[in-house]
Structure 1
Amino acid sequence: MSTMTFAPHQLPTVERVQTRSVRLTRRGRLVVFMFGVLLAFALGVWFAAGSVATQEAGVEQVEVVTVAPGETLWDIAADAAAVTGEGDVGDMVARIQDMNSLDSSMVYAGQDLRVPAE
């Protein structure tokens, strides 16, 4: 039989590991700041890409009316105000002028006008 012997030995002492703090230079701080700004911008673009506009809520329904001989803009606006349920004919005249880019309330027979619909 063989015998094994262990010689006592001393364990190495654990030395304190010095921790070094990270010190950024002025350029390093600028790089870190710009990285944060670009990251925030990229996240903003990514979240904004998910928003989608629809035509249902914002499009005003219009109908095209042809001006008859002897008909005035006031007559057309009165009919449109009655159809849409708006009571003020003067406001409807202004809306029709805006929608058709009219400078005055003068209309001609046979002229096509966009008029608000229901």
Structure 2
Amino acid sequence: MSSIAFDHSPSRTAVRPPRHLVAVPDLPTPPALRLTRRGKAFVLGVSIAIIAVLVVLFGSSSLAGDTPGVAPQTTTVTVLPGHTLWEIAADANPNGDIRSTVDDILRLNSLPNASALQMGSEIAVPVYH
């Protein structure tokens, strides 16, 4: 068993000097927040990620409606040797804008560009009135 001894002698408490309050000077204010190069890169990366998420969430989107769309009237044309997409568009829409007709043909046939046109292939061409 252990025991603890306390010294209750009055001489120890009387020797201790009285405590007084001392005014402490104002501590200096910490400097403003300074980012390291790594911290700046992190803040930039997080900002770009947040902007990308917002663009995806609130960007343009397509909406399905209740009524079906009207499919354009088309005809099929076989690409002959020497035919260009510009000539096919000019034959299909002689009085209209040839550039928009070429774009319509590309979009209608899911072609990436005019050079994807293959000789002997059949393509759909819109009918213009």
Q: What TM-score, normalized by structure 2, do the two folds share?
A: 0.44
- Which structure has the greater CA radius of gyration? 2
TM-score (norm 1): 0.48
